[in-house]
Amino acid sequence: MKLGLAIRELHRSERKLALDLATLAARHSTDHEVCHVARDIAAWSGEHVRELARAGQGYGLDLKSEPHTKPITGPVQERLSTLLGRRPEPALLLLIDLRHVHRVAAGVSLDWELLAQGAQGAKDVGLLELAERCHPETLRQMRWANSMLKILSPQFLAS
């Protein structure tokens, strides 16, 4: 059965999303709304990683149950963010980072859809329930990044 492959890929994608959100928070620590919300919603991906690791055991997978959410350069990025403050360059970097998070979250969302379809076809009720429980949070992560782009882009790009 190929569901194990889908679980493994989704696990990898969720770990990446958790790390990208943590990196966004570190890189833009002076923008408190972005920093705190990014950290909060990164925790959702962390929980998804743990749940996928548990679900993967039923498919013979040995997946890490903890997400990698500490960017190696996190302390340096936080310090740099503090030093640069509200200059225009970090604002453009924020737009780039939000675009990246949105694209990664869109990929994770697609992976949840694929897993749900596969679980439904295999009649794996537990896996389907996991997808139905976690996918809405991924959609919220994607919508948050999209709404931040809509809010911030006019003021950053027009100035």
Give residue limits of the domains in the chain.
3-65+75-158
pLDDT for res 79: 56
Q: What is the pTM of this model?
A: 0.86
Question: What is the DSSP code string of 51-108?
Answer: HHHHHHHTTT----SS-----TTHHHHHHHHHHHTT-HHHHHHHHHHHHHHHHHHHHH
Task: Confirm or reject CATH 1.20.1260.10 for domain 3-65+75-158, answering yes or no.
Answer: yes
Residues of the chain under the 70 pLDDT cut? 1, 67-90
pLDDT for res 8: 97
pLDDT for res 1: 63
